[in-house]
Structure 1
Amino acid sequence: MFLQSLKLTQFRNYKEEKIDFHPAFNTITGLNGMGKTNILDAIFYLSMGKGYFTGLDRYSVQHTEEFFRIQGIFSDGTNTLDVVVKYKAGGKKELEVNGVLMERLSDHVGRIPCVIFAPEDITLLQETSEARRNFLNHTLVQFDTEYLNAIIIYNKLLTSRNSYLKQMASGHSYNDLYLESLHEQMASPCRIIYEKRKLVVYELNILFENLYKVISGNKEVCTLLYKSQLEKEDPLLLWKDSMTADKMLGRTTAGVHKDDMLLWMNGKPLKNFGSQGQIKSYILALKLAQYRLLETTKKSKPIIMLDDIFDKLDEKRVNYLLELMAEDSFGQVFITDTDVKRVPSILQNKKLEGKQLLVSNGSIENVFDYTHS
C-alpha cells in the first residue's frame, strides 16, 4: 500500500495543499521550519490516527484557525483507500475510511503500516524507558489486535487507579474493595501485554542482531532484552505488595507501564558505554528490525519515513541505508533534507526512480521527477 496523494487543510503551517507522490522514493527538501516534517507527521496521522511529533491534536491546527483536515489516497495497485482525519478545536477527532466513520480510531490502526526514523529517536530511545515502551507499542499495535485492545483497556484502568490513589493521598478514606475490583480487571490485559512484549522483543532481537552486524562491520555484540516486574511476580501480587507505597505516593508503582527494553552492547548499557557512532548504528538497526518485522507480519511493505537523517547519521550510514533500500526493494520511502541536491543526487547515482518536492513556508514550490533508463 502506497500513498498516491495527500491533501492538507489548515494543518500546521499548511493552509491548503495537495501533493502527489511517487510509489518509490520521495525526497522533501527545504530549509528548517518550512514544513518538511509536517508532511511526515500528516502521513503518520493517516496511518496511526495521531501525530508522531505532536502530543496534542490542537497543536496541529494552523495558528488562528479552528480545525485541520488531512486526506490521503492510498493504493495497492488494485484497490484504493481514501483516509481522512479531521479535528476541530474543543471537539472530537474523527477518522474516515472510504467515507465510513470509524467508531474507534483503533479500528483503523494497522491498515497502513509505517515506520518513522527521526533525529530525536536516537536520544529518546537510548535515554528513556517510556520511549522504548512506545517503540514496542507502535510495533505491536500495527499487527496484533489483541495487544491493541489490551493496552487500551489497561491504560484506561491505570488512569482510574491513579486518579483514585491521588484523591485518597489527599486525605480521603480508601475503599479497598474498589481497588481490588480494579486489580481484577487490570490483571488480564496486563498479562497479555507482558507476554506479547516479551515475544516481540525476542523476534526483534533476532532481526536486530543481524542488521547491526552488517551496519557496523561485525564489530560489537549487541542485544535487546526485555525487563518487566512480571518476570518474578503475577500482577495481582505486585499490586498487593506495592499498595502501601502506592497509597503514599498517589500513583501506581508496579505493572507493565514500568517495563523496559534494555539496549545492550558488549554486555553493558548502550547509553553509558556506546560511542555516538555506535549509538546511531544501534538505533538505525533497531528501526530497520521494526520494518522487517512489520513487513513479515503484515505480508506487505510498510511506508518508511526518514526525517533529516543527515542531521544525525554520517555519510557512511546514510549510504548503507540507501543502498539497502535500493537493493532490497523497500516499499514507499519519504526522506526529508535541508540540502536540495544531496538525496536526489545519491538516488540518481543509484538509478532509483522517485520524486523531489521543494517546500517553502507551507507550500510546495517545485516538483521534480527523476527516472533512469
Structure 2
Amino acid sequence: MLKLDSISLVQFKNYAQASFTFNDRVTGIAGKNGVGKTNLLDAIYYCCFTKSYFARSDGQNVLRGTGGFRIEAHFTLSGEPFKVVCILRETGKKEFLLNDEPYEKFAHHIGKLPCVIIAPDDTQLITDGSEERRRFLDALLSQLDAVYLQHLIDYNRVLQQRNGFLKSLAEKRGPDTSLLEVYDEQLARYGSYVYEKRKHFLREFIPLVQKFYRQIAGVDEQLDIVYESQLLQYNFPDLFFRFREKDLFLQRTNGGIHKDDLDIQLQQQSFKGIASQGQRKSLLFALKLAEFEALKSAKGFAPLLLLDDVFEKLDEERMHNLLSQVCVENEGQLFITDTHEERIRRHFGQLIGTYQVICL
C-alpha cells in the first residue's frame, strides 16, 4: 500500500509554516472557504507530480510577501519509506529530491507515487475543448509509462519548433521548406508511439468509465466514448502532405496527435450538449475512478485519491454511491475536503469504522 504519513509546508500558498500527520487510511479536511483545504491537497499533489494541479507557474504557489517555498513529505510504499522534498528558491530555481537525492529531470519522478485528484473545475474535462481531455489522458498514461512521457515531451518540443519555423517562412519569399521534412520525420517518430499507446489503452479504459458511470448515476444510460484521431484514417506522411498548404497559410501544424480527442455521447447525442449537471458530475467521477483503477491495476497498489469539495457537487444518492466506491471498495489512502465537519463525519460514520478529521 502507498501511504502518506506526514507533510510539512513552509511558505506554501497560505501556509507560513504547518505540519500534518495522517494516521488513518481515510482523512477528512474540514474548514471554511479560504483556510487552505485545497492548498493542502495541492501540496500532496506536488509531491507526486513535481508541480501544482491548480497553478501554471511555481511562483504562484509562494506565500505572498516571501521568496520561495518548501514542501517535505514522508511516504511508505510496501513498508519502504520515501522522503520527498520540493524547494522553490528565491531565484526561481526549483529542486526536487527523493530520499535526499536530487532529480536531474523531474519527469523521472512521475509515476513513482501515483495520485488521482478530483476538483470542482474538473468539469472542464467534459465541457471544454479537446485539449482538456488530452491533458487528462496524458497525465494518466505518463504515470503508467515513462517512455510515453518522454515521447510526448519530445513530440511537443518538435511541434513548437515546427510551428516557429512555419511562422518564419511567412516572412520569406520563395521559402525553402526542406527543414519541414526533418521536423515531420521527428514528429512521426515520437507521435506514432503516443498514438499507438493511446489507442491500445483506451480499448480497456473506456469500458471501465462506462461501468463506473452506471454505478454512480444509479441508472443504465447509454454512454458511448470514441477515440478520435486523424491517424485512424491517415498515416503521418499522408497527414503532413494533406495539410502542407494549410500549415503554411495558418503558420501552425494542423495534423498530428495534438488534435486527438474523445467523443462522448449520451443516448447517441453529444454529451455536453444534453447532459444535466448531475450527469456531468457522474461522468467526471467515472473518468477519475477509472483512472484510479487503471493505475491500481498497473502498479499493483492503489494510488492516493484526493477529493476536493465534492459534497457540494452531487446529490445525496450520487454522493453515497461515490463514497461507497472510494471508501469501502477502494484500498488506497483517501483525502477529502469539505466546509462542514459534521457532514464528513456523518458520511464516513455510515460507511467506515475509523477515519481522521483535520479541522483547519
Q: Is the contact between residue 68 and residue 87 of structure 1 (CA under 8 Å) also seen in structure 2?
A: yes
Match of 1:185 in 2: 186
* Residues 220-276 of structure 1: per-residue CA shift (max 9 Å, x gap): 111221101111111222122212222222211111111101222122211012122
SS in 2 for 1:19: strand
Match of 2:315 in 1: 314
Q: Distance in 2 between matches of 1:236 and 1:250?
A: 18
Q: Distance in 1 between matches of 2:79 and 2:14?
A: 33
Match of 2:206 in 1: 205
What TM-score does the superposition give when structure 1 sets the normalisation length? 0.92
Q: Distance in 1 between matches of 2:174 and 2:101?
A: 47
Give the aligned residue type for 2:37: K
Match of 1:7 in 2: 8
Q: 1:67 to 1:213 in 2, by over 3 A?
A: same
Match of 2:281 in 1: 280
Q: Distance in 1 between matches of 2:172 and 2:33?
A: 51
How far did 1:326 drift? Answer: 3.4
Q: 1:32 to 1:183 in 2, by over 3 A?
A: same
> Is there any run of 5+ residues in structure 1 with no aligned partner, and where?
360-373
SS in 1 for 2:16: strand
Match of 2:142 in 1: 141
How far did 1:134 drift? Answer: 0.7
> Is there any run of 5+ residues in structure 2 with no aligned partner, and where?
none
Q: Which moved more, 1:54-63 or 1:232-241?
A: 232-241
Q: Do residues 109 (structure 1) and 110 (structure 2) align?
A: yes
Match of 1:305 in 2: 306
Q: 1:57 to 1:183 in 2, by over 3 A?
A: same
Match of 2:59 in 1: 58
Q: Distance in 2 between matches of 1:77 and 1:190?
A: 35
Match of 2:263 in 1: 262
Q: Distance in 2 between matches of 1:218 and 1:115?
A: 25
Q: Is the contact between residue 3 and residue 21 of structure 1 (CA under 8 Å) also seen in structure 2?
A: yes
SS in 2 for 1:279: helix
Map 1:234-245 → 2, pairs under 5 A: 234-245=235-246
Give the aligned residue type for 1:262: D
Give the aligned residue type for 1:125: I
Match of 1:367 in 2: none
Q: Is the contact between residue 169 and residue 249 of structure 1 (CA under 8 Å) also seen in structure 2?
A: no
Identity of matched residues, %: 37
Q: 1:48 to 1:236 in 2, by over 3 A?
A: same
Match of 1:29 in 2: 30
How far did 1:171 drift? Answer: 4.6
Q: 1:170 to 1:57 in 2, by over 3 A?
A: farther
SS in 2 for 1:142: helix
Give the aligned residue type for 2:343: R
SS in 1 for 2:164: helix
Map 1:206-225 → 2, pairs under 5 A: 206-225=207-226
Q: Distance in 1 between matches of 2:257 and 2:107?
A: 20
Q: Is the contact between residue 133 and residue 259 of structure 1 (CA under 8 Å) also seen in structure 2?
A: yes
Match of 1:152 in 2: 153
Map 1:11-90 → 2, pairs under 5 A: 11-76=12-77, 78-90=79-91
How far did 1:166 drift? Answer: 2.3
Q: Which moved more, 1:20-29 or 1:48-57?
A: 20-29
How far did 1:26 drift? Answer: 0.9
Q: Is the contact between residue 29 and residue 36 of structure 1 (CA under 8 Å) also seen in structure 2?
A: yes
Q: Distance in 1 between matches of 2:250 and 2:91?
A: 32
Q: Distance in 1 between matches of 2:273 and 2:126?
A: 13
Q: Distance in 2 between matches of 1:172 and 1:96?
A: 50
What TM-score does the superposition give when structure 2 sets the normalisation length? 0.95
Q: Distance in 2 between matches of 1:217 and 1:348?
A: 22
* Residues 309-358 of structure 1: per-residue CA shift (max 9 Å, x gap): 02211221111111223331430001011112111221123233221111
How far did 1:173 drift? Answer: 6.2
